[in-house]
Amino acid sequence: MTEYENAIEIKGVTKYYDGFTLDNISFDVPKGCIMGFIGQNGAGKTTTIRSLLRITDINSGEIRLLGLDHIKDETAIKKRIAVVFDELPFHDVFNARDMARIFEGMYPEWDNAAYMQYIERFQLPVKKKIGQFSKGMKMKLQIACALSHNAELLVMDEATTGLDPVVRDEILHIFMEYLQNGERSILMSSHITSDLEKIADMVTFIDKGKILLTGYKDEIIEQHGIIKCNKEKLQEIDSGDIVSIRTNNFGAEVMVNDRENASYKYRDCVIDPASLDDIMLYYVHRDMKEWS
């Protein structure tokens, strides 16, 4: 088995669609890491995931998964990764046992005992048809299938969207367990940043098909800050430090991309820490500079 440093390496990937371009994107997911992949709807998250799974062909660039080329070693890679989609792609006529029978033949490392443990843990009925499952149950079944073949990389596309907080929390907890030996990695696309703030080590932010930020989550949060000031004070802030400005009746909130530097430069201003949600929001409006 190939030794690798990065579970995912995406270099200069471009994909043209009518009306949308995934524009020369590059980022890595180191082995043993949870990468949160954030961006608003239509930013290019699903296209990126579909490109790395080779569901869609890319126009240019290079993708390596688990140290292997995603085209040349496609089947070998897919045996070692697991994918969780936003919607369950399993047929309504099957039940949980049928799914085990199907995946048993597909994955050489399928572990029926582990699968049944997850089914029990999630309290999923074994004989009930999937068509009668709730959305939460469907997602749990998909996750049980994904985690039962000893996959080294788990790719999730909006897997927690539409689930209630209790189920989401339970699922996030299972992902943390899954990562414990440091040999496994997760790429988790979501626009629910609170989930990623809980579990992600790294974050990549995509907007309009371009990567705006990628790196360790704590560093990104540390670097960014929100200056709350009045309109006169706003004039003193260097435009080079500003990501975008949110105006309101009382003044303005300015996101800066170097909080430490800003705290020296604008000593008389209050600089609040920014959350991933804030960062996403201010970066999305970066072209407008001022928004409300």
Q: Is 69 one of the binding residues for other proteins (CB under 8 A)?
A: no
For 61-88, give the DSSP string: EEEEETTEETTTTHHHHHHHEEEE-SS-
Here the tokens at position 131 are: 């068509």
Q: Is 108 one of the binding residues for other proteins (CB under 8 A)?
A: yes
Tell me the closest approach of the beta carbon of residue 32 to other proteins, in angstroms.
Answer: 22
d(CA 245, CA 283): 10
Q: What residues numbered 273-292 form the site for other proteins, per CB under 8 A?
A: none
Tell me the closest approach of the beta carbon of residue 117 to other proteins, in angstroms.
Answer: 21
3-state class of 258 per DSSP?
Answer: coil
Tell me the closest approach of the beta carbon of residue 222 to other proteins, in angstroms.
Answer: 35
Number of chain residues interacting with other proteins (CB under 8 A): 28
Decide: residue 57, CB within 10 A, 0-12 exposed, 13-18 middle, 19+ buried. exposed
Q: Which of 7, 65, 96, 107 binds other proteins (CB under 8 A)?
A: 107
Q: Is 88 one of the binding residues for other proteins (CB under 8 A)?
A: yes
Q: Is 83 one of the binding residues for other proteins (CB under 8 A)?
A: yes
- Give the Å distances, CA to CA, from 86 to 30, 224, 271: 24, 30, 37
**What is the side-by-side order of every strand in the sheet holding 202-207?**
81-84, 153-157, 185-190, 34-38, 202-207, 210-216
Please, which residue, 109 or 218, has the CB nearer to other proteins?
A: 109
Please, which residue, 103 or 291, has the CB nearer to other proteins?
A: 103
Please, which residue, 84 or 271, has the CB nearer to other proteins?
A: 84
d(CA 255, CA 284): 12
Binding mask 192-211 for other proteins (x = CB under 8 A): --------------------
* Residues near other proteins (CB under 8 A): 50, 53-57, 75, 78-79, 83, 85, 87-94, 98, 101-108
